[in-house]
Every structure is written in structure tokens, then in C-alpha cells.
Amino acid sequence: MPAADSKRIALDWTKAHDVVPLERHLHDSMPHLVAAKKALANGSGKGSDFMGWVHFVEDHAPRVVNDAKNLAQRIASHSDALVVIGIGGSLLGTKAVYEALTHSFAMANPNQFQRRPVLLWAGHHVATDELSELLDVLDQYSPSLLVVSKSGTTTEPALAFRVLKQYLDDRFGARESASRIFAITDPESGTLLKLSQTHGYPTMQIPRNVGGRYSIFTAVGLLPLAVAGIDVNEFVEGARQARADTINEKNESLETNPALCYAAIRNSLYKEGYKVESLCHWTPKLRGIAEWWKQLFGESDAKGNTGLFPASVQFTTDLHSMGQYFQEGERHLFATHIRVLDESSLSRGAQKRKVRIPQPGLADGFDYLTGHNLEQIQSEAILGTSLAHADGGVPTLIWDIPEISAFWMGYWLYLNMFACGAGGLARGVNPFDQPGVEAYKVNMFALLGKPDMAEQSVQIRARLERGQRLRSIGLTQNR
């Protein structure tokens, strides 16, 4: 176990305060955040039906870890690949943690670097090409399927499941196919639960009082991560520690409670007219974490035509594409950086090394960096960038994370969930529902001819046909 007490996650907001003096705002908003923290801890107030995640990591996750590890062993005994089928909160967190903790070039040398069983992904889109390409590679594995859907009725995973189940049936026959299918769903209701009961698929549960985007520490994340050999005990331990630190009754100050501090700053900047928050990560390994973060805050904050737009960039890569916007674009943006203090890779098979800049005398103008390691260069790049952006009027926060390990991923994810819940409640919105995501589904189902929707289908098609007249059609050579 990492020495959690000698390492810390911290949030530096100096360069937010330099751009927008925040003290008064923060002072005003802290009582609301402290009340929100209490509501989360007591399970009261708006959205209280979906606050089960707050104490889940303490009260239930250790037991779920054991169950997940047992089932993971069973899956690994006959499968070297697990296709995780899900969308949104049922997939993003798992994919993010898996990618952060897996060798970036595992595909180039699977024997040495790939986790076994490998995790593959489906059900998070309706794109023919990717699902078809997945079917291309499945023959080289002995695969199992894990369908994750709380409602059990979500279109994208349901359709991918049909296709992939058919693949298993054709390859292994119905009986063996059924022994390779696992599900995570609501404990009491839904089509997926019924299907699992009918066909005897082993299931684990997403508790009723935990919403999708707050479910990473339930079986949703723990089972597939355990299958891939990720240390789920450490992952949960990080979250438990974050919970203990955050909800501690005595811990209500900005200086010592980064979750409340972060929530207070986000709300204050939003009030000051900063409508977009960009998460800036500095390693490609955190790309998935940014996707998880965008869903968490996007679905939770945006209510009643209000809420910050969560965006993300990967620096320094995107400094060469979006850097100009940060420096001189519309001033409605603030930046939240993630600085990983020790970037040595902890992925399976990876060498723990510092990368030093070699070869003095190459006449490329970079001799002054000979002997530096990339971490030092990265660190100066972060400081230089945040200062430049602050000078350009972009309030800038910096998260310091000790390392990319299961423990610190667990800690940081929990911290963000808490900040998101508390910040939403303090702003007066329900951060645990997502009524707005139904609108596209209604149109799509009507267009696809769902029974009982014939009338909507006619209306929607009429509206779409009107739109067809306003198209601009490019000139194309005959090919």
C-alpha cells in the first residue's frame, strides 16, 4: 500500500485568484457547500435517492471487491478477453482507469505488456465500423461478454449485446455461449435482469441508489478492473480515504478540503461569467479520465439551461492546436490542470525509469536541456503555461496527484464525485438526475419505428424533410 500519509492530493488556485479575486465569493459560498456536504453525508435534500455512492466505498465496496475478485477468477479461467458492453457511467470510468493503468503500447507487444484477460469495449456507440472491427479480432481470443446497464434498456449496449451474443452462439453454441455472458444491472428490475435470470447469466448489482456516473466503485468498475488484474483493493482504499478526508466533520475549510474548495471555485467562476471549464491533462494516459470527468460534471451540472460546459485538452499536444484559443480566444474559459508528480509508469511490464535528455552537441539548440529529465521539463511547461494563460485572463487551477496508481486514481475520482455532488447541491440543482438525455432518444425511437410512436414518427420526418431544402451540396467528381 502506498504511503498515503506522506503523499497528498492538492489543489493550487493561486492563478485563478490572480485573475478573479475569489476570496469574497468563496467566503459567501462556503456555508452552502458545507450544508451540501452535510446533505451528502446524511443522504438528505435534492436527489437524496441517488446518494448511495457517498458511503458505498466504506460500507459495501470491500464486500463487492471480494465478490468481484471471485467472479473475475472464474472469467479468467476460460477467457483471455472480456468485452465490456456499456455506455456513459456504465463504461467510461472502467475504461478510464484501465487505460491509465495499462501500458500505452501493450498492443505492440501483448506478451510482455498486455493485461490478461484484455478488456475490449462495445456498446458505447452505434458505429458500424468499430463494432465490425471488434468482430474481426474476436476469433483470436477466447472471449466473454460483460453487459453493464443499470436500466437494462439502453439502446446502444442492448444492440451491441445482440450482435456479440450472436457471435458467441455461432462460435461456441448456445450452451457454452451462455457460460461466457455476465451482467451488471439493477438488483430488482429491468430487461437485462430478466434476461439474465432466464438464461442463467451470473450477475452483479448496481445499487438502486447509485446513478451511472457515480458507480465506478460498485461492481460496474470493480468487476472488469479485477478481471484485468488491476488492484481493486487499492482502488477502493483510495476512495475510502478520500471519503474519510472529505466528509470529516471538522474538515470544512478551503485549505484542507480540496473537494469543497474545488466545488466553491467552480461555482464562483461560473457566477463571474466563466462558462467553460477545460480539464488539461499532461499525459495521454489520462485521456479516458477526462472523458469520465466530462460526463460526471456535464450531466450533473447542466440543469435548467445553466451549468459549466466541461471540455478537455491534452497538453502539450493541444497547445499546438488549442493553445491560441486559451491565450487569446473568448474569455469565458477557465483551466483545471492535472499535474502528476511522479510520472514513472506503473503499468504492467513497464520499466520504472526517468527519461533523460541525452546527447550534448547535436547542434539542434537544445544542449541546455541535456541531462534534464522529462518530468522536470513537464513541470516547467505546466508552470509556464498556467502563468501565460492566467496573464491572458484564464483563471487556472492545478491539481497535484502523486502518481498514476490504483490508489490515487480512486482518491481523485471520489474527490471529483464529491465536488460535483456538493457543488450542484450548493448551486440549487439536482446533480444526480439527467432528464435532458431523453430528448434524443424520443426522436430516435420514433424514427426507428418503435411501436406506439407512429404519430411522432410522421411529425419528426416532416420536420426533417423541411430541413433537407437548406442543404449545400458539394461538387464531386465521378469516381
Q: Does 52 bind ligand PA5 (CB under 6 A)?
A: no
**Catalytic: which of 27, 125, 194, 441?**
441
- Applying CB under 6 A, the span of 58-66, 85-93, 308-316, 464-472 interacting with ligand PA5 comes to 85-93
Residue from 47, 52, 89, 221 that binds ligand PA5 (CB under 6 A)? 89
Distant-in-sequence, close-in-space partners of 401: CB < 8 Å, separation ≥ 6: 9, 338, 339, 340, 341, 408, 412
Given the complex with ligand PA5, which of 52 and 258 has the nearer CB atom?
Answer: 52
CA 18 to CA 454: how far, in whole Å? 57
Given the complex with ligand PA5, which of 85 and 333 has the nearer CB atom?
Answer: 85
In 3D space, the residue among 224, 231, 259 whose CA is nearest the CA of residue 245 turns out to be 259
Query: Hey, which residues between 143 and 182 contact ligand PA5 (CB under 6 A)?
Result: 149-151, 154, 157
- Applying CB under 6 A, the span of 21-29, 130-138, 211-219, 421-429 interacting with ligand PA5 comes to 211-219
Shortest spacing between CB 273 and ligand PA5, in angstroms: 28
Q: Does 90 bind ligand PA5 (CB under 6 A)?
A: yes
Shortest spacing between CB 13 and ligand PA5, in angstroms: 28
Given the complex with ligand PA5, which of 90 and 102 has the nearer CB atom?
Answer: 90
Shortest spacing between CB 455 and ligand PA5, in angstroms: 26
**Catalytic: which of 7, 299, 303, 337?**
299
- Applying CB under 6 A, the span of 81-89, 135-143, 242-250, 389-397 interacting with ligand PA5 comes to 81-89
Using CB under 6 A as the criterion, what x/- string covers residues 428-447 for binding ligand PA5?
------x-------------
Given the complex with ligand PA5, which of 211 and 410 has the nearer CB atom?
Answer: 211
Nearest 5°: the CA angle 240, 260, 270 is: 135
Q: Does 94 bind ligand PA5 (CB under 6 A)?
A: no
CA 16 to CA 26: how far, in whole Å? 12
Q: How far is CA 77 from CA 71, 72, 153, in A?
A: 10, 9, 30
Distant-in-sequence, close-in-space partners of 102: CB < 8 Å, separation ≥ 6: 114, 115, 228, 347, 348
Residue from 7, 60, 213, 427 that binds ligand PA5 (CB under 6 A)? 213
Given the complex with ligand PA5, which of 364 and 438 has the nearer CB atom?
Answer: 438
- Give residue for cell 475478485: 69
**Catalytic: 320?**
yes
Using CB under 6 A as the criterion, what x/- string covers residues 241-280 for binding ligand PA5?
----------------------------------------
**Catalytic: which of 250, 320, 438, 455?**
320
Shortest spacing between CB 307 and ligand PA5, in angstroms: 15
Residue from 117, 212, 310, 402 that binds ligand PA5 (CB under 6 A)? 212
Given the complex with ligand PA5, which of 20 and 311 has the nearer CB atom?
Answer: 311
Q: How far is CA 59 from CA 55, 212, 239, 412, 442, in A?
A: 6, 19, 12, 19, 38
Shortest spacing between CB 7 and ligand PA5, in angstroms: 30
**Catalytic: 55?**
no
Nearest residue (beta carbon) to ligand PA5? 212
Q: Contact residues for ligand PA5 (CB under 6 A)?
A: 87-90, 149-151, 154, 157, 211-213, 299, 434
Looking at the annotation, which residues are catalytic? 299, 320, 441
